[in-house]
Chain A
Amino acid sequence: MITRRVVRWADRRLGFASLARSGLNKVFPDHWSFMMGEIALYSFVYLVLSGTFLAFFFDASEAKTVYRGSYAPLNGSEVSAAYSSAVHLSYDVRLGLLMRQSHHWAALLFTGAIVVHLARIFFTGAFRRPREVNWIVGVTLLLLAFVNGFAGYSLPDDLLSGTGLRVANGIMLSIPVVGQWVALLIFGGEFPGQHILPRLFIAHVLLVPGLIAALIAVHMAILVRQKHSQFPGPGRTETTVVGSRMWPGYAVKSIGLMAAVFSLCLLLGGLVQINPVWLWGPFEPGSATGPAQPDWYVGWVDGALRLYPPWEPHLFGWRLPNLFLPAVVLPGLTFVAMYLYPFVEPLFTRDREEHQLLERPRDRPVRMGLGVMAFTFYGLLLLSFSLDVVTRYTGWPVTVLVLVFRVVVLVVPLLTGLAAYVLAKALRDSDAARFTELPWSAVRGTVRRRSRSPKEPPTTASPVAGVAAEHLPVESGPVP
């Protein structure tokens, strides 16, 4: 009763009824893999909420202060205000450590969910026309998430993240011609200087999240405008969307998912320790700690740094710094390749049509092979960031591990990519419904067959379930 009156009161003044109706009635496809992006979205919401709490207590300053609090081993020590406020949050503020830890776990969830979502988009061809723009927005969101994570864990000015800042400084210095200027402008002087923490803070709480929020809005707006893509099936054509209505079913389910994401962040944040800055100690020039790694979304670059050989060639008398290729060129090329992929693939598939129906991964064996190769490569680089920990617990010398991984990182992706290509092709050309039902004969047959015209992915109603579009309940309503 009250809700009706309130809504009517507002509608009479703002006139949103028809807009709201089309929103409430919107049809959303139900496939489970379409909710991966929502995991990322809700992780971001949690990051903003928990981050706001943290920002009320954190002091992003390198000025020296004396910590006085309940963490006894630091009591009376002179440390930076940033570090002191981080330990203060962890030991002296109620809910402080829960918020800090759940915030950090949410960041790992956020970046992980984006990558999983990107994989789904890639392997199902959802980036094809008309969704190239949204792919570009999405890859930018990935980049911004990585950057913000790095900025965030560097804020407490502890020994572990300070060492990471040192490496970042070295990476900036390694850029040819302009490197010295880039490094000293960003840091406001030589490392560590007095300026980097306040600058990282503004980037981390204002600039980058603002950009992320704006791009998420654009990402969603494009999605609403273009409507969600969907897998082929009964009633699903290039001109229909089949699924549940947004309100109330889909929305309530989605809010439930948000509660589940928050729940996971809080359970991890309370029960599993992450980034115990009081143990790492404050950053001090000249101090070291091992093991020293960044978070995983920067970890693949760290792995590349460990594996890359000690080469510093001379180019026309100038020395090319060692860090440039693995830490600047490799990530740069990675993102350039990601941005360009939707525009390069049609050059080879010669498919410039608009697509609303998704492909199953098996329908594009080449894309499958390339994607698996790429994921294997970056996954192995990520694994390489843990070699010193592996050494610690196995006793295998780290120099041997590095040599082995140099070979592995170059050879294994080729093998997995090839295997994925062959298996996808076999699956596509056989009758097997799932990968687990694929017989070996089909694989052998694929390997023997040299060339075969690629099968067109189904674009019309599938005869499998035999249900035509007309037989499905259709709600007549405004079609935006």
Chain B
Amino acid sequence: MRGPARAPAGWVSAAFLTSTALTAGFVAAYITTDSPQLEGLLLGLALAALAAGLVLWAMHLLPSGTYVEERPPMAPPEEDDDAFQDDLHRGGQETPGILRRTLGLAVLGLGAAAVVPLRGLLPGSLGPSTALRRTAWGRGVRMMTSEGKPVRADDLEPGTALTVFPQAPEPADDATAVLIRLRPADLEAASSGAAGSAGLVAYSKLCTHAGCPVGLYEQTTRQLFCPCHQSVFDVLDRARPIAGPAARRLPQLPVSVDAEGYVQADGGFDGQVGPTYWRRG
């Protein structure tokens, strides 16, 4: 509450004048430039000068001192409390219990009327368990890139990966898959079931931990790495998680190359896609 010496009113006025000048500068900057840095600096400093002026004023010029105020206890005296309780329960004696109970029932009914329509937040008749189990993949569905271009088997060099979607007008989130072309050397190391034709293997791109796209493919270690919480999946061992918090392997999508050289799915994913939800098994 005190500075080393009493600051004269001059300092306070100077602070307010500085603030005014800076605000004028801000307005000029707003009109003439488009620099967020200038705008923020000038307006920020204008407010800082205002703050300084106000604080100096309060601390050095305004009446201060130690004042004492009485503080009565929170709880009122017994008589007041009793009188309040009596007022509150006025008319209670004359009210039969059945009135209270049926009113309670009516209120419960209104509550249900408010809660049940929340079902409408989910449009459509498809329940969650069906929606979550299905993706757009199926036998013969062709793969496309996010730009809508169909994928040919020889678009992929050995050792590279590509994000693919089922051929549809819009890329669908739960169907996102990563298509990998394994090098010939890796095909021997891969466990059975991996690598359909032409060394191609496809897994769901949604991490089984929290659903982030497992976007990082490391070609030398043949691992898929998730940027969110650092789960690592072994591409050569059916995308089994080998590090990080993911507990399930990435579901695999069986793939083949059709007669014209385009890559297509041979069925749906062989496991639950995305973060685990409460279910049997």
Would A and B touch once assembled, by the CB under 8 A criterion?
A: yes
Residues of the A chain whose Cβ atoms lie less than 8 Å from the Cβ of B241: 310
Select B54's contact among A174, A256, A312, A479, beta carbons within 8 Å: A256
Interface membership of B211, Cβ < 8 A: yes
Residues of the B chain whose Cβ atoms lie less than 8 Å from the Cβ of A258: 51
Select A354's contact among B75, B163, B209, B246, beta carbons within 8 Å: B75
Q: Residues of A within 8 Å of B, CB-based: how many?
A: 105
Interface membership of B105, Cβ < 8 A: no
Residues of the A chain whose Cβ atoms lie less than 8 Å from the Cβ of B131: 184, 189-190
Interface residues of B (CB under 8 A from A): 1, 30, 34, 36-41, 43-48, 50-55, 57-59, 62-75, 118-119, 121-124, 128-129, 131-132, 146, 163, 165, 171-174, 176, 205, 209-216, 226-232, 241, 243-248, 274-281
Q: How far is the CB of B221 from chain A (nearest CB, A)?
A: 12
Chain A residue at smallest Cβ distance from B243 = A399
Residues of the A chain whose Cβ atoms lie less than 8 Å from the Cβ of B176: 285-286
CA A200 – CA B116 in complex, angstroms?
A: 21
4 closest residue pairs by CB, A with B: A270-B40, A288-B215, A170-B275, A256-B54
Q: How far is the CB of B223 from chain A (nearest CB, A)?
A: 12
CA A101 – CA B44 in complex, angstroms?
A: 13
The answer to whether B47 touches A259 (Cβ under 8 A) is yes
Residues of the B chain whose Cβ atoms lie less than 8 Å from the Cβ of A255: 54
The answer to whether B247 touches A310 (Cβ under 8 A) is yes
Chain B residue at smallest Cβ distance from A391 = B230
Q: With A252-B57, A256-B54, A288-B214 in contact, do A181 and B68 touch (Cβ < 8 Å)?
A: no
The answer to whether A167 touches B39 (Cβ under 8 A) is no
Select A271's contact among B37, B52, B226, B232, beta carbons within 8 Å: B37
Q: How far is the CB of A6 from chain B (nearest CB, A)?
A: 22
Interface membership of A8, Cβ < 8 A: no
The answer to whether B247 touches A285 (Cβ under 8 A) is no
The answer to whether A387 touches B230 (Cβ under 8 A) is yes
Q: With A179-B278, A320-B278 in contact, do A192 and B173 touch (Cβ < 8 Å)?
A: yes
Residues of the B chain whose Cβ atoms lie less than 8 Å from the Cβ of A102: 40
Chain B residue at smallest Cβ distance from A321 = B276
The answer to whether B37 touches A474 (Cβ under 8 A) is no
Residues of the B chain whose Cβ atoms lie less than 8 Å from the Cβ of A252: 54, 57-58, 62
CA A190 – CA B277 in complex, angstroms?
A: 13
The answer to whether B210 touches A323 (Cβ under 8 A) is yes
| Interface flags, A162-191, vs B, CB<8A=1, else 0 | 010011011101111101110111101111
Sample of 10 further A-B pairs with CB below 8 A, known A174-B276, A195-B121, A242-B66: A102-B40, A176-B278, A191-B174, A270-B40, A287-B213, A289-B215, A354-B74, A399-B244, A472-B68, A473-B65
CA A248 – CA B57 in complex, angstroms?
A: 10
Q: With A167-B210, A180-B278, A242-B66 in contact, do A263 and B71 touch (Cβ < 8 Å)?
A: no
Q: With A102-B40, A170-B274, A286-B205 in contact, do A312 and B248 touch (Cβ < 8 Å)?
A: yes
Residues of the B chain whose Cβ atoms lie less than 8 Å from the Cβ of A167: 210-212, 228
Sample 18 A-B pairs with CB under 8 A, ordered by A number. Answer: A30-B1, A98-B40, A163-B213, A170-B209, A173-B132, A184-B132, A188-B122, A190-B131, A191-B174, A256-B54, A256-B57, A263-B45, A286-B176, A305-B245, A310-B246, A322-B247, A388-B227, A479-B70
Interface membership of A308, Cβ < 8 A: yes
- Which segment, of A208-216, A233-241, A407-415, A448-456, faces chain B? A233-241
Residues of the A chain whose Cβ atoms lie less than 8 Å from the Cβ of B57: 252, 256
The answer to whether A266 touches B47 (Cβ under 8 A) is yes
Q: With A167-B212, A244-B67 in contact, do A174 and B274 touch (Cβ < 8 Å)?
A: no
Q: With A252-B57, A473-B65 in contact, do A305 and B210 touch (Cβ < 8 Å)?
A: yes
Interface membership of A350, Cβ < 8 A: no
Select the residue from B128, B132, B275 with max chain A CB neighbours within 10 A: B275
Interface membership of A124, Cβ < 8 A: no
Q: How far is the CB of B80 from chain A (nearest CB, A)?
A: 15
Select B124's contact among A186, A189, A259, A322, beta carbons within 8 Å: A189
Residues of the B chain whose Cβ atoms lie less than 8 Å from the Cβ of A271: 37, 40-41, 44
The answer to whether B274 touches A318 (Cβ under 8 A) is no
The answer to whether A179 touches B245 (Cβ under 8 A) is no
Select A94's contact among B34, B51, B70, B246, beta carbons within 8 Å: B34
